[in-house]
Amino acid sequence: MDVKQTVLSILKDISGEDLSDQMDTNLYDTALMDSMSTVQMMLQLQQQLGIDVQISEFDRSQWDTPNKIIDKVKGLVK
C-alpha cells in the first residue's frame, strides 16, 4: 500500500470518516481531528510506516489537511 492510501486509512480509522474526497479540508477547524486524534495518528504512523515524528515537530499549521499530512509523511518516509 502506498503512503497516500495508508495515511487515508489511518485518518479514516481515527476520524471515522472517509476523507479521500476532502483532501484540502482543514481537519482541526472542522473538528475532525483534535489533540487526542493527533497523538493517535502519530502512533499509527510510527507503527504502520515506521516514521518517527516528534511532538515538537508537529506544527499544526503544516499538518492540518489530508494533502499536507501526506506530503509531510512522504518527506519522512525513506
Partner 1 sequence: MLSFEPYEDPAYFGILLLGLLPIMIMMLYGHRSRIYENIISLFFLFLTFGGPSWHEGAALIVYMVYETCLTYFYLHYRKNNNKSWVFYLTVFLAALPLATVKISQQTTSNIPSLIGFMGISYLTFRVVQTIMETRDGVLKKINWVTFLEFVLFFPTISSGPIDRYRRFEKDYRSIPKRDDYLEMLSKGIHYIFLGFLYKFILAYFFGTYLLPQVEAAAMHARGGFLDISWPLIGVMYTYSMDLFFDFAGYSLFAVGTSYVMGIKTPMNFNRPWQSHNFKEFWNRWHMSLSFWFRDYIYMRLLYTFMKNKTFKSMTTAANVTYVLNMMIMGFWHGVTWYYVTYGLFHGFGLVINDTWLKYKKKHRESIPSNWFTKGFSILLTANLVCFSFLIFSGFLNTLWFK
CB of 28: closest distance to partner 1 in angstroms? 9
The CA-to-CA distance between both ends of the chain, in Å, stands at: 15
Which residue number, 44 or 65, has a Cβ lying nearer to partner 1?
A: 44
Contact residues toward partner 1 (CB under 8 A) are: 16, 31, 34-36, 38-40, 42-43, 54-58
CB of 75: closest distance to partner 1 in angstroms? 15
Question: DSSP letter string over 4-56?
Answer: HHHHHHHHHHHHSS--TT-TT--TTTTTS--HHHHHHHHHHHHHHH-----GG
Q: Check: CB of residue 17 under 8 Å from CB of residue 27.
A: no
Which residue number, 3 or 58, has a Cβ lying nearer to partner 1?
A: 58
CB of 42: closest distance to partner 1 in angstroms? 7
